[in-house]
Chain A
Amino acid sequence: MSDFLLEIGLEEVPARMIAGAEAELGRRVTELLTRERLLAEGIRVTTYSTPRRLAVLAKGVLARQADTEEKMTGPSWKVAFKEDAPTAAAEAFAKKAGVAVEALEKVTTLKGEYVGAMVKRAGRAAQEILVAELPKEVLALYWAKNMYWRAGKPERFVRPVRWVVALLDSSVVPLEIAGIAAGNASRGHRVLHGEAPVVIAAASEYKEALRGAHVVVDVAERRHAIRKALDAATRTVPGARWREDEPLVETVVHLTEWPTVILGNFEAEYLELPEEVLVTVMRDHQKYFAMEGADGKLAPYFLAVLNAQADAESAAIIRHGNQRVLRARFKDARFFWDFDQKTPLVERVESLKQVTFQKELGSYHWKTAQNLAVASALAIVLQSADYSFDAAALYKAVELAKTDLTTELVKEFTELQGIIGGLYARAQGLGERVALAIYEQYTPASMEDEIPVSVEGQILGLADRIQTIVAMFGIGNAPTGSKDPFALRRAANAIVKILAESELPLTLSDMLKAPGAEDANQQVAAFLRERLHFYLKDVRGFAYDVVNAVLAAGADDVRDAMARAEALTAVRGSDDFVAISVAFKRIKNILRQAEEKGFAVGSAEGVMLAAEAQQLASAAAALAPRVAELRGQRAYGEALALIATLRPAVDVFFDKVMVLDPDAAARGANLALIADVLSGFSGIADFSEMVTS
């Protein structure tokens, strides 16, 4: 058995794409070797990557496929052999099977005697298969953004392929990828190693050979080294901690081949700037880790992850350079902050006319007016429910919510829109409620994010998003398939999340009290319902049949749907409940059949029911008001438990009673009874949607 190594040498691959490509390459190579019967049992391939390479190492690759033997059946024995002498038919079959005529055997089957032959197929060499198949697999890798570089554009890939290493143990597998012939020469760290080739003597020596050239190819090892180096550098500042930031760790892991860390500092005076601004500059613009003191507040230090091995002299140079860049950026930010204060937010409303929201709809000035209308529609619902909030603060926040788009600081740090507005509102003394609502208006940005803390922020967030959705649907910009250029799904997800996790007495249909075209509203209602389905199933993790059952019984009140889904999930496994679900399914089927056959649903009044039907009718009649009462109290668990007690009556009924009685009156009465049971107990969930095995 051999070790197989493939390394694709590239110009720097975008950090965000590396992990996915590394995993996909590993999968493709594993599948290829498995499909071709080249992988020994239980062998897994190992993958590596750096910004300049993707690599796969498979230990336990067979040198060639095993030979195979297969029995082939040919013409009937009588045709192939006349008086024991082979005929033309025998010769032809022997040729086809690749055996001598003498090697043909007699095979006896139920249908008679036939000619048979054992056909041997020699396995192909691993090398031959890899040369033929592997380049296709590599070039099929998915990249979020591709390029072409060779004349005539023969292939597209993330960046130009510059070298390829392909080895079975120590021998080069002579494959070719994007015009580059594989060899055994890799490359080391651009600066620390230079351009001299790094010869990989044997596949299994890959990792150590590259380490010698200042490249750590193992991603987990680099991640560990970075975390340790961040810790070590942090320890030189007493009481300090670096701000944990997993996405940033991943980014720098994929930006470095030989990671080291330096600690830098900045003038404490910049700590007067809002922490949000400082952290954004450090994290998003410079890819630095922020540090905090024992009190949890930002400390005037940063950590930069280098792709270098710095000695004392070069560490000082690099630290100095990074500090210089950071200082200039902070200086800019402070300049913008001070400059922006000259025109307070309240004086910026008019200039929103210059900022396009959507070219077919209007400016942010237009949007602000629309948002105000929506917010007041929501406010009326809340006021009529006696829900307490600060209406004046809400309207002020809605009016000023978008004004930070005209500030220099937001033009510089677009990712801080809303947050900057909130900070300015606070600095300009507009009141904490106004400031907080503006600050929180874009949360939750994702399903992992928290909803706004303030009620006014929640209402502003709802109004802003539903206005956008309704307006966009109105001009035909509803999302389709994978296309959602205006991120309307994300906006609707946030609406559902706010309704689910806040205490606002608002429903999805309340969202549509916004001014907007009627036909768009119907579409939007369906869209919101679909997002609620997504939320319950994919965010909350409810089973799909539970979600279907619950939403079939009502999909307007988000928190109520959630409570029903929880209750239903709790009882779904019990025998009684499964039986009830089966029975309800049966009821639905019978009612459908009855409808198809034109049988009328009659009335139980004045009809002599079968004893079992009467039992069911009285059990249901006794249960219905108690279930209704519990539903009214939203005690769904108890209500469902009560419904499950209906089981014996239901079982006996279906066991003994022929619902579709030939007698029309009896049949009508039976149908009326089961229709009553169905409608009377389906308010929590449509049990017929439940999957029962």
Chain B
Amino acid sequence: MSAAQTVPSLKVSALTFQDLLFRLQAFWAARGCILQQPYDVEVGAGTMAPETFLRVLGPKPYKVGYAQPSRRPADGRYGENPNRLFKHTQFQLILKPPPVNVQELYLESLEAMGIDLKKHDLKFEEDNWEWPAGGAWGVGWQVMLDGLEITQFTYFQQCGGLDLDPICAELTYGMERIAAFLQDVDSIYDIVWARDPDTGAAVTYGDVRWGEELQFSVYNFEFAEIDKLWTHFNLYEQEAQTLLAQANALLSDEKASTKEKKRFPLLATYELALKCSHLFNLLDARGAISVTERVGVIGRIRALAVGVAKVYAQQQLLAASS
């Protein structure tokens, strides 16, 4: 019976990978969101970028979107698996506080990417999210389009171990999946990234990124020196700990001036914590973290990330009141 089935061709009209991003960004920009560039330190998910992790803290409203390359060294497959990547692109959107029609807006954003919802099957299925090392969790859904998870939709409840008030909605669009779906290709590497407007010649995802997937898989699994990774981890951790201790002392010092408190480099401290998190992922991919160590190391990263979040929230309150 499969021969009798007519499969409509989606390919012709489908947008390129970069057009999808343009459309998505334009859609949210038109609804008052700041468009940020992706964060330039390695992160495992868009949530970890300070535009999410730190901005969601405190009372100040914020709306931002950015396409965050997210690195998960252990997921690398040397460019051989058509569905798995070491580095994928999350379009991350934060709406703080979420508007009452946030779901309707989300559906419109799908339409903006050329998805005619009337021709598809859409479901919001329960999927709660948590990032224990960041003391962060929320409830929400995985959004399923014709059986494919295309977005993680989360109402953040806590971040850095702190209750959020107001909460925010976090929409994470899996861009490679959406593109492969719309372009109807079986391999991520066959996604058309861009098309020359004059010649119509296509540049594929594979053209742009395959070499990177291969070489980083090789590095992550074979070359990364375990001793050096540990050394880097320890150095970053020490510096972050020192800064964090200073920040705590300063913020609770009644004699210190507000100006002094506000200029303390917590953003830099957080970046050091992110470095540790990425190094942990590399060590994990190298199989260098033993069972007994694992929980302990995650605890060390948590102490930094949650520690920064707590002081940062205090610092923001200062900023708001002065």
Binding site for B on A (CB under 8 A): 11-12, 14-16, 51, 145, 147-149, 151-153, 159-160, 162, 190-192, 195, 236-237, 255-256, 265, 286, 288, 304, 306-308, 310, 313-314, 316-322, 324-328, 331-332, 335, 353-356, 359, 363
CB-based contact B119/A359 at 8 Å: no
Say whether B235 faces chain A, with CB atoms less than 8 Å apart. Answer: no
> A51-B124, A255-B125, A319-B5 provided; 8 other pairs, C-beta below 8 A?
A145-B139, A148-B157, A190-B103, A286-B147, A304-B147, A306-B121, A322-B146, A325-B146
CB-based contact B81/A321 at 8 Å: no
Say whether B104 faces chain A, with CB atoms less than 8 Å apart. Answer: yes
- The residue that A11 contacts in the complex, of B118, B124, B290, with Cβ under 8 A, is B124
Closest to A237 in B: B1
Closest to B7 in A: A320
Known: A318-B146, A322-B146. A335 touches B7 (CB 8 A): no
- Label chain B's interface by main secondary structure: mixed
Known: A145-B128, A148-B157. A316 touches B292 (CB 8 A): no
Say whether B190 faces chain A, with CB atoms less than 8 Å apart. Answer: no
Q: How far is the CA of A190 from the CA of B110 in the complex (A)?
A: 13
Say whether B165 faces chain A, with CB atoms less than 8 Å apart. Answer: yes
Binding site for A on B (CB under 8 A): 1-2, 5-8, 10, 81-83, 97-98, 100, 103-104, 107, 117-126, 128, 138-139, 141, 145-148, 155, 157, 163, 165-167, 181, 184, 186, 287, 290-292, 294-295
Return the 3 tightest CB-CB contacts between A and B, nearest first.
A321-B146, A14-B126, A12-B124
CB-based contact A318/B81 at 8 Å: no
CB-based contact A153/B163 at 8 Å: yes
Q: How far is the CA of A151 from the CA of B98 in the complex (A)?
A: 11
Within 8 Å CB of A151, what residues of B? 97, 165-166
Closest to B138 in A: A147
CB-based contact B290/A191 at 8 Å: no
* Subset of 14 A-B contacts with CB under 8 Å: A149-B155, A152-B165, A153-B165, A162-B100, A190-B103, A191-B117, A265-B2, A307-B123, A308-B122, A314-B119, A314-B120, A316-B5, A320-B146, A353-B291
Within 8 Å CB of B294, what residues of A? 356
Within 8 Å CB of A153, what residues of B? 163, 165
Q: How far is the CA of A320 from the CA of B146 in the complex (A)?
A: 8
Closest to B148 in A: A325
Within 8 Å CB of B186, what residues of A? 324, 327-328
Q: How far is the CA of A170 from the CA of B164 in the complex (A)?
A: 41
Known: A14-B126, A304-B147, A325-B146. A356 touches B291 (CB 8 A): yes
CB-based contact B121/A308 at 8 Å: yes
Closest to A17 in B: B126
- The residue that B98 contacts in the complex, of A149, A255, A313, with Cβ under 8 A, is A149
Known: A307-B121, A314-B119, A363-B291. A321 touches B8 (CB 8 A): no
Closest to A152 in B: B165
Q: How far is the CA of A322 from the CA of B5 in the complex (A)?
A: 14
Within 8 Å CB of B125, what residues of A? 12, 15, 255
Within 8 Å CB of A16, what residues of B? 126
CB-based contact A316/B126 at 8 Å: no
- The residue that B104 contacts in the complex, of A12, A195, A236, A288, with Cβ under 8 A, is A195
Within 8 Å CB of A318, what residues of B? 119-121, 146
CB-based contact B122/A190 at 8 Å: yes
- The residue that B291 contacts in the complex, of A191, A265, A313, A354, with Cβ under 8 A, is A354
- The residue that A147 contacts in the complex, of B122, B148, B155, with Cβ under 8 A, is B155
CB-based contact B119/A307 at 8 Å: no
CB-based contact A191/B118 at 8 Å: yes
Within 8 Å CB of A355, what residues of B? 291
Minimum CB–CB distance for A667 against chain B, Å: 68
Within 8 Å CB of B104, what residues of A? 195
Q: How far is the CA of A195 from the CA of B123 in the complex (A)?
A: 16
CB-based contact B81/A147 at 8 Å: no
Minimum CB–CB distance for B205 against chain A, Å: 16
Within 8 Å CB of A304, what residues of B? 121, 147
